[in-house]
Structure 1
């Protein structure tokens, strides 16, 4: 398989499986729209636009892995989860994927449900669950927030990559030259490197925003820590 970037092209997975995941993605995004209406306010709405623009930019940058045989790009799920929360974050990533597919041909239109499921739904959900756990354990210091963002990025990218393995197992139509176990291992190895790169960028970005405007970081506002160490005081406290 020449390219293991997360965008799935048309024809990689058969029609019935693609349609099933398309329906799943549609229902999940409808739920995100409903739930995000409770979160959107004067702070979150403009931040959502900035997050979507940032994710769009970084996803357009592909970089070689394994001596150039494989290329990958950042996903942005953890960044979205930390800055704008799981519901708005999933919508941000989904909008980016739709624009990239329709305008730039990055990922097949027929495969949008698969790509949205992996990157917008699984990626953001896993990242936010990890953020919610770690921010209740680690102190809200620069190092604590950086570790949280980094770990959430790495693991969310790894889990999202295995979403493709499941989809290929259910309805793969092309020969990728590996057994399912081999494909899972190859995807995990490639996306571990992607996750590390994404983790460094996400941690740097999130800490930078938190130092200047902690009230703009959704996770800091919404998650009540068990730790008493708090370097990022948020006006009004946690919700």
Structure 2
């Protein structure tokens, strides 16, 4: 009986380790070739017209057609327009902008902030973010998932040029320019396409809209407030 229990414990340990390894590689697994330069479409003449294919990522360009330009992006020195209501804007360098990113598991973006501009609360469902401030002063922070005690803990830090902060994958985070001049930051991700969900836009601006009764109960406010917010974020 004792030997059986030990054996079961060993099997369970191996299973947990295997699960941990599979979860660790669940996002943008390591490539099996030098590169896979992304293309949006695959030539239908090269595949069975009756075969429907879904690809989690991008098709690969024929290696013999790959050029140096596929791995090159030159506009990250140009500031993005920050004249919008939020006072911030980003220049993404994801797989759609840099095809050579495909399967390599990395990407980045430049974020520009007008004075008091905000990069509003959002999440990246498929990537960890590492943010470095190049110019200006930012208040940056993230919120934990629901804790055992029912709380959501907030971590914030004031960042100056040269400072770095990391935002764990899937957690709500934000940045606010608390200076009187423009600010610039670079954000790097461990995914070729980390995705972004801006919380306010998703909750109040979804298409079709979320039933106001759901949001009224969730936010514990008057229904008129919810309907007002949906008009602000609606298309």
Q: TM-score, normalized by length of structure 2?
A: 0.28
Identify, as 1 or 2, the structure richer in helix: 1
Identify, as 1 or 2, the structure richer in strand: 2
Q: Relative contact order (alpha carbons < 8 A, sep ≥ 6): 1 or 2 greater?
A: 1
Q: TM-score, normalized by length of structure 1?
A: 0.27
